Structure 1
Amino acid sequence: MSGENDLIKLYSGQILALASDMPHAARLEAPDASSKKRAPLCGSTITVDVSVTDGKITDFGQDVKACALGQAAASVVGANIIGRSRAEVETARDDLKAMLKQDGPTPTAPFDGLEVLRPAREYKNRHASILLSLEATLDAFDQAQQAACA
């Protein structure tokens, strides 16, 4: 029974507030690239659209069908993604993964709001959902840069 109580605590008011107030929660009409990612264990999916100019994200949209943890992560990403380079997004993804899997440090600003997801480190089956937004953003960013070079 304590495991169930711990899971209930995991879905804190802060996580639920982030999940319910997601920035850039609509798809872009004419993105440079899009990526859809799915977490196989839980079935969460996120589709990300990006516009990239001079190596930075200039517009962003996302369609999130995920648990509250995945939604909260997507909310933090959406609030901070405009103006970011690929390297910044990759660092945020790597830092978040280390925080979840190895109890590493919180991702650095502007993605430090992902700290709210630290309690999820004990729930490995939720990690993929939490990482989806950053994974999809990196994939879309790469596609946009490849298209620009073609």
Structure 2
Amino acid sequence: MTADADLIKLYSTRILGLAADIPHRTRLTDADATAKRRSPLCGSTVTVDVQVTDGQITAFGQDVKACALGQAAAAVVGDNVIGRTEAEVQQGRDELLAMLKSGGPAPSAPFNGLEVLGPAAEYKNRHASIMLAFEATLEAMAEARATKSA
């Protein structure tokens, strides 16, 4: 199979469906914290707003300007992040990174929908975009934690 055919296969119907239906696309006006992450390689950006109560995300908003792979990741993260703790989000991030970088298994629930991005492991130049939603969410959660404990 040619490289072009492999890339077309990577952008499966399922990935494109996720990218077209990203949840929580409305930014929060009363966020506890906001974080923006950018992939220097491709210019993709994800901005995340969170409200955190008792260590759990209670409200979430995101602005996603990324390739279909980054959008698909943001869709799965956004669909499953409310009610999660920082440790749970970190675990999802670590599992996704292991799947992409070292052939690890697909992330466990609640982020198991990210298994659709398994074929992207072969495309290292796409990894940063795929990780943006988790990275921005974790940064916002850390900022919210720091602000609330200050």
Where on the TM-score scale, by shorter chain, does this alignment land: which range?
A: over 0.9
Match of 1:135 in 2: 135
Aligned partner of 1:22: which letter?
I
CA distance in 2, matches of 1:111, 1:118: 13
**Number of corresponding residues:** 150
Q: Where in structure 2 are the equivalents of 1:51-130 lying within 5 Å?
A: 51-130=51-130
CA distance in 2 between counterparts of 1:83 and 1:137 reads 13
* TM-score between the two structures when normalised by the length of structure 1: 0.99
What percentage of residue pairs aligned between the two structures are identical?
A: 66
Alignment of 1:27-46 (within 5 A): 27-46=27-46
Alpha-carbon separation, structure 2, partners of 1:137 and 1:100: 19
CA deviation string 1:36-59 (max 9, x = no partner)? 000111100000000000000000
The one-letter amino acid paired with 2:129 is S
Point out 4+ residue stretches in structure 1 off by more than 3 angstroms. Answer: none
Task: Please name the residue that 2:13 is paired with.
Answer: 13
Q: Quote how far apart the aligned CAs of 1:26 are.
A: 1.4
- Counterpart of 1:132 in structure 2: which amino acid? L
- Root-mean-square deviation (Å): 0.7
Distance 1:134 1:59 in 2: 15
TM-score by length of 2: 0.99
Q: Distance in 2 between matches of 1:31 and 1:78?
A: 15
Alpha-carbon offset, residue 130 of structure 1: 0.3
SS in 1 for 2:107: coil
Looking at structure 1, the residues matched to 103 and 49 of structure 2 have their Cα atoms a distance apart, in angstroms, of 30
* Cα distance in 1 for residues equivalent to 2:26 and 2:104: 32
* 1:30 Cα offset (Å): 0.8
Structure 2: which 5+ residue stretches go unaligned?
A: none
Secondary structure, counterpart of 1:62 in structure 2: strand
Question: Gaps (5+ residues) in structure 1?
Answer: none
How far apart are 1:138 and its partner, in Å?
A: 0.2
